[in-house]
Amino acid sequence: MFKKINFELEKPYFDNGVCKWYVDKYFLDFINNKQDFNLPKLDNVFCFITTNLKDVYDYVVINNKQEVLFTYKYDSNGFEQLLFKLKFCKISKYYDEHENK
């Protein structure tokens, strides 16, 4: 369900002059909600689409300390890889919370 964002209409969340950061609403919603078999939300995790001066776009997932957790290309393959990785993180968190008791 990869859809390209029109970056000319979107306002960057952050722009440091070298890189622009756009909030990815689809993955942010996926991270912050229980979905797919009631898997838990991921706390302190954020997803952005970044672009540099050469118009190279990437998905970037960071934590609340602004540490990069992982990145994927902003294309349909990167979308699927990121979705898989986030589902894996949710499954891991579920097992940590429920199976280790």
- Which of the four pLDDT bands, split at 50, 70 and 90, describes residue 87? very high
Q: Among residues of the chain, what percentage have pLDDT more than 70?
A: 95
pTM for the full model?
0.87
- Which of the four pLDDT bands, split at 50, 70 and 90, describes residue 21? very high
Burial 78-100 (b: 16+ CB within 10 A, else e): bbeebbeebeebbeeeeeeeeee
Higher pLDDT, 81 or 37: 81
Higher pLDDT, 37 or 98: 98
User: Which neighbouring-strand residues pair with 90?
Assistant: none
Phi/psi at 35 (5° precision): -150, 175
Burial 23-52 (b: 16+ CB within 10 A, else e): bbeebeebbeeeeeeebbebeebbbbbbbe
The pair of structure tokens assigned to 54 is: 């050469």
Read off the amino acid at residue 60.
V
User: How far is 36 from 56, CA to CA, in rounded Å?
Assistant: 31
pLDDT (tens digit, 9 = 90+) per residue, 24-64? 999 999 998 876 677 899 999 999 999 987 778 999 999 99
pLDDT of residue 100 exceeding 70: no
